[in-house]
Amino acid sequence: MVGWTKQIELPADQPAVSIKEQLTMWHVPRRIRGNFRIARRIYLNGEYQPTSTILKPHDVLLLHWLPTDFITPDSHYVPDDSQSLQILYENDELLVVNKIKGVKTHPNSPGEDGTMMNFAQAYLVKQGKRAYMVHRLDGQTTGALIIAKVPYVVPMLNQLLHDKTIKRTYLAWVDGHLPQPMGTINLPIGEHPTNTRLRQINGINAKPAVTHWTKIKTVYQQTLVRLQLETGRTHQIRLHMAAIGHPLVGDDLYNQQSNYAGGLLLHSASVQLPIPFSNDIKSIGAPLPSSFPANLK
């Protein structure tokens, strides 16, 4: 049968929940759970069982997905092996890579190459798999980027991002001295009325956005901060820090006063990632690139 198959042996401490409840706990979308049940594409210890069946420790579940389960069952990124990936973590279904400064996350037009998804596609084609985008980082941002290798974990990871179960931590240099040791910025972000490249606080179709920041150190007139996101709006960190009077150093969009020639100083320092179909949580760090200084003058 064409598609993707996953076999999971349940752990010794498996709770007595139904197959349906377990799939829900794994964030398998409701529509796909229904497809499994209707087409009998879920097996328990080698036999189809109703989704009301209660699971036991060391039971073996086998799930089978079809292309029709997904809006985008295949990815069509052009493979580009001109840049090698720095792999921070990898298993059979996903990888976390250290994104390169000045490289886009994904192409904006068919046939485009030179992006992280193109580099990942070239890497995964050798494994007989393909790259699927989970989230994105701005072109000038470096650091930890999650990429799926199979389509069935994409909606699961998207739900974990939406629920804030995946924790993302950033480092950034900002202008000025922050008087408080930490703070929270809660300002909606929407579209800019005249420039599609920009976003705006309380802009068109604004959505809630929450950023937590902690001051690490101040060097002359710049401050290094650690940031954690509750939401993932486009340009969220850049907009939020600019809105409180501390725009990011090197930000050519929201810091018109910056004369730093090294580009945007924003780094995705780590992700705390629950591994799909398991109880494991991995904390994956991305080393600072040489373009991100320890001190600014």
Residues involved in catalysis: 138
Alpha-carbon gap, residue 176 to 246, rounded angstroms: 6
Rounded to 5 degrees, what are φ and ψ at 110?
Answer: -60, 140
- One-letter amino acid at 63 equals L
Alpha-carbon gap, residue 91 to 70, rounded angstroms: 21
